[in-house]
Structure 1
Amino acid sequence: MKRNYKWLTLLLLLVFAVSITGCGGTKPAAEGGKDDYVVKLGYYNCDHMIGAVVGEAAGIYEQMGLKVKLFGNGKVPQAMAAGQMDVGYIGTRGLMASRPKGAPIKVAANNHIGGSMYLVVANDIKSPQDLIGQPLGIGNEPEKSEDWPVYAKTLGIPVEGSNYKCIEFDSDQAAYLALKTGQIKGFTCCDPWASMAEYEGTGYIMATYMEMMTGDEKQMGSCCVYSMNENFKKEHPELARKMVQAHVEALKYVYTHPIKSARIFAEYYHVPEEVALRTIYKKCVAEGRTLTWKIDEGQMRFAMKVYQNEKLMDEVPAYEDVIDIEFYKSCNLEDFDKFIKEKVDPVFPVGMSYEDWKKKAKEIDA
């Protein structure tokens, strides 16, 4: 995912740790008693993190006997890296970059594969070449980002930022507002802001970043993961497993109850319900089954290969140092592929049109 990784400096981590002292750290459960610990779960303003809010609003955490406090749209990667949050939906690259710096977090389950990132441009941009020399929300050094080089190479335009008026925004929402008000001619983002541009008619998606690329090699990688604080996992092992299971139930809910999930998404992300629906359709049908809890070693290792070859990280850690596969297996999770084949494919097959999907979804969630 497109993110600014300057937060990985130790100074920023310490500053942030102080700023959220109210969150506290983990503490051991009382021996032989019920674990009433309140789990701190973070997510940020990207559609890939929908599982966090669905878990709360659909009552999944409560049904599983979990006490969870959500921290939305804040500095979740920093909090996780500083050891001040228990569980977080964060970018795979950010997690892996933080491990060599001592961050006490590992991948507990997957969350989203592929990029599902978008290059959104103004309506008066008729060809990729029209972007050259224009103000774009693609970051100050787009050639060092994960997604921009893929867009540029696919569209046949220069990768180097010197060919554009590059602007760094602190959020996708801010970039969208800049496009809407005519300050920029394009920007890269995750949803719901690409769907918002289409919904409001302020722009259109020129390119989609799905597969990662290094040289001539392209393959699906891991975009963002369900990360967990190692101290929380050690001190609250049963709660930790339940949290992963709740993550699974939340994603299953999104696939099987898209209308209800869209209403939740619209409320938490402050967008129209139609935009939320378009967003969920992209993730669950149009672009395949990109929301997933399944850890695919091939996808993870390819992502790490891209980080290494494209010099997107100072130091790429060992696979075993970022993926806690034994903990993942101990959670006894439902098989993702079997779930999709039995519960999703017969109802919402890949390739289904948006209108047919929405009609069927309304029949389920009348």
Structure 2
Amino acid sequence: MDKKIIGISAIVIVAVIAVGAYYLTTPDDGVVKIGYLAGDYDAALIVANVTGMYKSEGINVNITPYNDDRELITDMASGKVDVAYMDVANVLKYIEKGVPVKIISSSQNGGSGIIVSNHSGVNSINDLRGKVIATPGEDSIQYILFNNYLKKNGISIDDLNVSSHSVSSVNKSIQKGKVDVAVIYEPYVTINQNEGSKLLLNSDALYPNHPNCVMIATDGFISKHPNETRKVVQVHENATKYLNNSTGWVYNKVPMDSVKDPALKRYYFDNVSLVYGLDDDFKHNVDDFMKILVDLGNLKQPIPQEKIFWQGS
């Protein structure tokens, strides 16, 4: 059996047993535990924390970064994390497998792109055969977007030389000639352009306004703490509006280790869509994206909205 399937199945067993048991038996310490995948799309979370927005809403938070979505979802199952920011493809995968979480807000749309070496000779999607192509991995949104775009253009991803690669080091691999093409996410799309690579296709070209990062919470936390759930969603909305309306200085509060240049950081923020809420348009976009996941074999079948979205919005 595939190791990924074994791993996900184990997570489901832990999740179904542990989430309910945790919220029934563990004393409430009054702290909302928030996890996120270390990267770029948690800007609203970071800004909300450093500007005191949680405190203003009377919420005590403990925020923890993670490097792996499986570790994060396992900690949600064990009660170590109540709320998390995660990419929507992985969230849908875990919900299909039975992990008891709900999407409580949108967070980011877009933010992906295809970068090519200036020496690769790649000027269109038809030039990819025979080239070394790097992606963050087969479970990533970038791989899914890429695979879908290829399929629409009559190209099978199986006919290309595609492999997983660390996004943070992909530019060095491009400069050394080890990689010709990289399908990556922000801020690395911007970083690689700044360091000499060229943009072949951005998110809008691959899939306009596609959902990317979402905010989720465990069913146990939602049912036991409905008011706190509403408050963390409100804080996310406030922080997103704060970022979207900023004249620039606030971006320096987002501690992206990979982006030191304030001007470059601002350029990155101009190329992603920071969003909030669960309106009908967003739910429709998730439904459309889910059809792609089914078509590509990432999901077995579409998931009903009531199993995906928080009903308290």
Give the TM-score taking structure 1 as reference length. 0.70
Residues 104 and 143 (structure 1), Cα distance of their counterparts in 2 relative to 1, 3 Å cut: closer
CA distance in 1, matches of 2:6, 2:117: 31
* SS in structure 1 at match of 2:182: strand
Q: CA shift at 1:89, angstroms?
A: 1.1
Residue aligning to 1:110:
106
Query: 1:120 Cα shift?
Result: 0.8
Report the CA distance shift for 1:262/1:25 in structure 2 as closer, same or farther (over 3 A).
farther
Partner SS, residue 179 of structure 2: coil
Q: Which residue of 2 aligns with 1:86?
A: 82
CA RMSD after TM alignment: 3.3
Over 3 Å counting, the alpha-carbon distance change for 1:177 and 1:257 in structure 2 is: same
What 5-or-longer segments of structure 1 have no aligned partner?
A: 17-23, 214-218, 284-288, 329-366
Query: Which of these residues, 129, 132, 138, is aligned with residue 129 of structure 2?
Result: 132
Q: Of the candidates 62, 75, 78, which is equivalent to residue 68 of structure 2?
A: 75
Q: Given the alignment, which residue of 295, 313, 317 partners 2:299? A: 313
Q: Which residue type is aligned with residue 55 of structure 1?
A: A
The 2-side partners of 1:8 and 1:27 are apart by 26
For the 8 Å contact 2:128–2:160, the answer to whether it is kept is no
1:291 match = 275
Number of positions where the alignment pairs a residue of Structure 1 with one of Structure 2: 297
> Which residue type is aligned with residue 146 of structure 1?
I
Q: Secondary structure at the match of 1:179?
A: helix
**1:131 Cα deviation from its structure 2 partner:** 3.2
Report deviation, 1:244. Answer: 0.7
Q: CA shift at 1:25, angstroms?
A: 5.3
Q: CA deviation at 1:157?
A: 7.8
Aligned residue identity for 2:267: R
Q: Which residue is equivalent to 1:340? A: none
Match of 2:217 among 228, 247, 263: 228
2:287 counterpart letter in structure 1: R
Q: CA deviation at 1:220?
A: 4.2
Counterpart mapping for 1:162-201 below 5 A: 162-164=159-161, 166-169=162-165, 171-201=166-196
Q: Over residues 125-171 of structure 1, what are the superposed CA-to-partner deviations in whole Å (9 max), with x where a residue is unaligned?
A: 342344321221136769994211344367x683323332x2212x4
Q: 1:315-347: per-residue Cα shift (whole Å, max 9, x none)?
A: 4321211112x311xxxxxxxxxxxxxxxxxxx
Say whether residues 1:238 and 2:227 are aligned partners.
Answer: yes
**Structure 2 Cα separation of the partners of residues 236 and 72 of structure 1:** 23
Closer, same or farther in 2 for the Cα pair 1:245/1:10, shift >3 Å?
Answer: same
Which of 303, 309, 313 is equivalent to 1:323?
Answer: 309
Preserved contact between residue 173 and residue 193 of structure 1 (Cα < 8 Å): yes
**Contact 1:45 1:269 (8 Å CA) reproduced:** no
Match of 1:149 in 2: 147
Distance (whole Å) between structure 2 residues aligned to residue 47 and residue 102 of structure 1: 28
Q: Which runs of 5+ in 2 are unaligned?
A: 16-20
Residue deviations 1:36-56 (CA, integer Å, cap 9, x gap):
522221222443321121111
Distance in 1 (alpha carbons) for counterparts of 2:98 and 2:278: 26
Secondary structure in 2 matching 1:47: coil
1:317 counterpart letter in structure 2: I
The answer to whether structure 1 residue 209 and structure 2 residue 223 are counterparts is: no
**CA contact under 8 A between 2:105 and 2:278: conserved in structure 1?**
yes
- Counterparts in 2 of 1:237 and 1:162: CA distance versus 1, 3 Å: same
Match of 1:100 in 2: 96
Q: Identify if the C-alpha distance between structure 1 residues 254 and 140 changes in structure 2 by more than 3 Å, giving closer, same or farther.
A: closer
- The share of aligned pairs that are identical, in percent, is 18
8 Å Cα contact 2:138/2:144 also seen in 1: no
Going from structure 1 to structure 2, the CA distance change for 1:232 and 1:143 (only over 3 Å counts) comes to closer
For structure 1, which segment, 224-233 or 54-63, has the greater mean C-alpha deviation from structure 2 after superposition? 54-63
